[in-house]
Structure 1
């Protein structure tokens, strides 16, 4: 399964020629999150079957499987050291856990949230990370300390994300406003707030900045996703046409060049839109028997990963 360097230009035609290169059936239940290493060489996933699977992206093989039977596992995230990861818990309590993948031992626990953690985001530049919970708080942490470094109380369900330079973070609140905070002075409150028409039919369930920091992508548990300008808050696109008739959070992701947006759907298909025009580029079909909740593009290689209970690796097949 040879990976092509992502420096090869992504075009509508390249995207339309993506095909499944490998399907993995390592899991017995829904894969609830996945994360590429920054170097693009490995992918880590967590599942409702309480397992963590690490994949080798260049060889297209599963490398290791670890289990978290005691606490369950959700929202798995690589830290900057490729042999460690953060994850939220599905059992016992809502503590965030810092795991050594090398020996499957916990390095540190981060207690504080009193309800399910629904947002977990690692800083792109240092050991800081953000968490958001159904307890209506966002917490700022440092991997080196179990004590929360900052705490924000919110009027509703939060989503949170760092920008690509790790200097600011965005908090999406109550599915209607985006607040931007400077990390060095976040305790003074947001430096800007964008109000959007409230999504009455769905909740915001995810938020991501594009790699160039110019765009913010908001995913939901409904039939829409929103793209806004990260500086002005101007609504740019509303992406629709994918199926979500189960009210579940579907992950949306940018391509590394921010030209394209990908999302799964509850009917097992993958949808791709042009970020600039909002036009649907392609609907990719796969053998996903269930809802595709996880979709991410490799940051370094021309490879897409999508997951339901199965994990699929996609590559472009283009006739020269």
Structure 2
């Protein structure tokens, strides 16, 4: 197993500016009623985003206009817990998805100008963040749509299919047509993410494989066999990828340049002591989301469909904090029975392999990977989870990495402040939210923070744009 230095050297190739970025921050003077559109005194300010941990954004602009959905106001914004605590729904789209259906994914483009949503009604919508309105509507009735993601251009997207052959589709928003198709997955795609540095991307499918692709080729250039509800993520340098192994309650890290080799670090999420207080044997929540902290930090957010998220140190593998609802609040999108998997449902063969080599990763097909012999197949702890709550967008970091937000089955938005320094003695402790936001109607299945603005989006049966209410500070 490689040491932390391996991860550090692989991540050192981060592009210039991977820390601070230019941003536009938005604020508002007060919330509005559901479906009413704009808010009086809504405001937006051109700003410079903070470095990780500082959360400061400054900006200047012209006076507001009452006729503009998101008018301009000269202000200085700081993404502190106090500021996040006064976020309110500035605009709610009551008909963002067909009645009785849910929005299952949302994504901002890199500049924060547009928001893309995909729903169970086979519709994907494009919204203008500056104007606060729906811009275009597209349909994928034949194959469905999920995990809609912008490429590095705001006029093209990738999305997974929910029916048919599990193909990933590359779509032009300007021409409203498909550019190319990426075939190969044999089961439903459960994770899809663009590389932060180039036109390659990564996908994972339930109980099948993780694959690496290039937008210029329809054939995957990397493939890793795996079991369980597949989730994968890039670090900010694009050189390290994390893959969740739900059947082992683990996360494995790979150097993307040595994808054909074993993972250089395997992180076992040992939360049995806390989970045993709920049920025995302990039942681990299904991992549904992975995100490295913005910039060159080592913190990895592990989101789940259950009542806890985790902060992991990607250098040492230590479990830093358990993100919980606090005071009886529940952050999970699924009932405990559906959102959890048996912590000890691992085959004897798997246990022997872990004892022998210390890693929990699979092997790339045809390149050092060993096919399982007949009768020795591992028993996966989690097949694709069929629950309605899982979206793959349940939680996320704020753009500066200082806080984390999460949706919930109740619609509440939970906010946690990431500790500035982690002490070994505090490893594994519960971290209670510093704020709980109210105003989203129905379960908040998806949440996302605008990368260039003080704007939060939440989605489920409805879509809400959240802005800070400066009058309440």
Band the TM-score falls in, shorter-chain normalisation: over 0.9
**1: CA distance, partners of 2:414 / 2:196:** 27
Name the structure with the higher strand share: 1
Are 2:310 and 1:226 aligned?
yes
SS in 2 for 1:70: coil
Offset of 1:287 from its aligned partner? Answer: 3.9
Could you tell me which of 218, 228, 242 is aligned with 1:170?
242
Offset of 1:206 from its aligned partner? Answer: 1.0
Alignment of 1:219-258 (within 5 A): 219-241=303-325, 242-244=330-332, 245-246=334-335, 247=339, 248-249=389-390, 251-258=394-401
- Aligned position for 1:291: 443
Report the count of equivalent residues: 319
Name the structure with the higher helix share: 2
**2: CA distance, partners of 1:13 / 1:243:** 20
Instruction: Select the structure of larger CA radius of gyration.
Output: 2
**2: CA distance, partners of 1:243 / 1:210:** 20
Checking the alignment, whether the CA contact within 8 Å between 1:114 and 1:135 is kept in structure 2 is: no
Offset of 1:196 from its aligned partner? Answer: 1.5
Alignment of 1:1-320 (within 5 A): 1-4=42-45, 5=47, 6=49, 7=57, 8-24=77-93, 25-28=95-98, 29-174=101-246, 176-197=249-270, 200-212=283-295, 213-241=297-325, 242-244=330-332, 245-246=334-335, 247=339, 248-249=389-390, 251-276=394-419, 278-288=431-441, 290-319=442-471
Offset of 1:167 from its aligned partner? Answer: 1.2
SS in 1 for 2:203: strand
Listed as ranges, the gaps of 5+ residues in structure 2 are 1-41, 50-56, 58-76, 272-281, 340-388, 421-430
When the two structures are superposed, what TM-score results if normalisation uses the length of structure 1? 0.95
**1: CA distance, partners of 2:188 / 2:304:** 17
Deviation by residue 1:240-273 (Cα, 9 ceiling, x = unmatched): 1234344432611001111111111111111111
Offset of 1:209 from its aligned partner? Answer: 1.0
- Aligned position for 2:347: none
SS in 2 for 1:184: helix
**2: CA distance, partners of 1:167 / 1:243:** 31
**2: CA distance, partners of 1:300 / 1:18:** 16
Offset of 1:192 from its aligned partner? Answer: 1.6
Q: 4+ runs of 1 displaced by more than 6 Å?
A: none
Higher RCO (Cα < 8 Å, 6 or more apart): 2
**1: CA distance, partners of 2:331 / 2:293:** 24
**2: CA distance, partners of 1:103 / 1:281:** 44
